[in-house]
Amino acid sequence: MIEAYIYSSCTSCRKTEEILKDSGTAYESRDYFRNRFSRDELKEILDNAGLDVSDVLSKRSKVYKARGAEIDALSADELLALMVEEPTLLRRPLVIGGSGVVVGHNPAKLGALIEANTAS
């Protein structure tokens, strides 16, 4: 099963969901701005996907642009807590399947993830 963590107002997230829908593959979608992560839940998702918190940091977010030096000085645990508080810091979309992870909108990688998950 593929899990897509999205923000419904995000153009890249909508494009990713469109690719998932058009593929016919089974997936679950969660708008993590409406249904926020807990700290432990986000940590578990990242751990299970083999990602470090720095792998999913959005340096294009307004929060990062305003507080970049402060954010860069945070420990991984502190950054995780801040991402829960400020979900714009989490790169989106985040798509996780049994065979891999796609961070951000990347149609080629998403297609490969869908194909690998369909084949398994």
The pLDDT value recorded for residue 120 is 60
Give one DSSP letter per residue of 84-109, joined into a string: HH-GGGB-S-EEEETTEEEES--HHH
**Mean pLDDT for each consecutive 10-residue tract of the chain (120 residues)?**
95 97 95 96 94 96 96 97 97 93 96 87
114 close to 23: Cβ distance less than 8 angstroms? yes
CATH T-level assignment (fold) for domain 2-119:
Glutaredoxin (3.40.30)
- Predicted confidence at residue 98, as pLDDT, reads 84
